[in-house]
Amino acid sequence: MSENLVRDILKEINLNEYNLILLPGFIQWDTTKLEEEKSIEIKKGPEFASDLPMILKHIDSVKLSNKTAANRVLEISGEQDYEEIVKEQSNIAKENLGFH
């Protein structure tokens, strides 16, 4: 799916009815230029349609990307959350053991 094909399709749609357009995560181009042209958020969705429900479930808590597929953004976000939880739990354990 090329940028020009998406641009042509969007010409046929009333974009005022939408606040976000998710494109397939496997597209090989940055959506920033098209997003600026159309004045609407145009982000990369997941690489696989089966991941779409998970992405939509977390759409308010994850910052979608113009360059990285949504499932990868969610994966990175989850890794960061995991690291933060481990750090917090480690600090709690140290405090409980008397290490400061």
Alpha-carbon distances, residue 90 vs 78, 82, 83, 87 (angstroms): 18, 12, 10, 5
pLDDT tens string, the chain, 100 residues long: the values are 999 999 999 999 999 999 999 999 999 999 999 999 999 999 999 999 998 998 888 888 888 999 999 988 888 876 666 566 667 777 788 888 877 6
**Whole-structure pTM over 0.85, yes or no?**
no
39: left (phi over 0), alpha (psi -120 to 50) or beta: left
Under a CB-based contact definition with an 8 Å cutoff, are residues 15 and 40 in contact?
A: yes
CA distances from 69 to 23, 31, 57, 60 (A): 9, 11, 16, 16
